[in-house]
Structure 1
Amino acid sequence: MSAFDVMKQTNQLNWHTLLVGFECGWCKKKNLIAYAETCLMQTGNEIDSDLITIASGEEIPEDELVSIGSHFLEVQGHPMSQEAKNESIEKWRFAHLVWLLQCHVSDEEKISLLQELYAQFGFPDDMASCSIYSSNGVDPLVAAGHVVESLSRRLKLL
């Protein structure tokens, strides 16, 4: 399982989360293409040229694919606002933490990965207890579980 799989299982995949995830390296070009194909199958008679381009985008450079996806969002009336980007990042943070807590590695390795996630997401305040340098005595993995619960409630995910 991966953070992408968690996003999929919790129905958090949409154009905002996919584009943010793609730009951050959390999902791949094939994921954008597959999502565009799914959207095309669900649209019925209204076929969007941006969706067609993305669905056939194997040879399109990555930056151009992001640009086309952003254009599609604008045309649909849902541009990538800072608020949408921040919410997408929080959803990815949730997915990464869920993945981490469920992965089948030692607690020591989980804690090491947790430190990387803490840094990757910019040292968010609600993850301070996840740090091995925290002085509050809380197990970092227990703290990560609390962050997952909090994000789940705040983002209305589970």
Structure 2
Amino acid sequence: MATSSTTPPEQDIGTAVLAPEGTRDISMWTDDTHQKTMVKFLNVPNTYDLTDIKHVDHIGMFYTFKNGDTWLTLNDKRLFLTPDMDEPDTQRGSEDTEDWPIMSPEELKEVLAKHPSYEELDAIWQEAQAGRRAINPLMALT
């Protein structure tokens, strides 16, 4: 997977890799030194703005559907497919992906406008991470 070594830390999620035409895989840093990345979302249409992807990552919920696919969801709509993590303890939901439409980039912008900004949410996240590290460095989430 090709990633940019010059991606600044404030863009931890968002390193783009070529995927099927018209889409890209979205990667994120998995360590504090910004040396390792992992694919977070697969085949995200290029029409989704990277800032919006980062923003919804803070407020969306992951849901594993009956077929085993895990998607980032928001307001009963699917957004971004995640790679198969082969997590043996992942419980599948009882719903079919076909029953959850995919949210359009325009719909996403409307929903995000009703939430605190990405910067506000990220500051809250960073503060929580600092608190976890202060208690126990192993407790911080990546």
TM-score range normalised by the length of the shorter chain: under 0.3
Q: Using CA pairs below 8 Å that are at least 6 residues apart, which structure has the higher relative contact order?
A: 1
Q: TM-score, normalised by structure 2?
A: 0.28
Q: Give 1 or 2: higher strand fraction.
A: 2
Higher helix content, 1 or 2 = 1
- Structure 1 or 2, whichever has the larger Rg, is 1
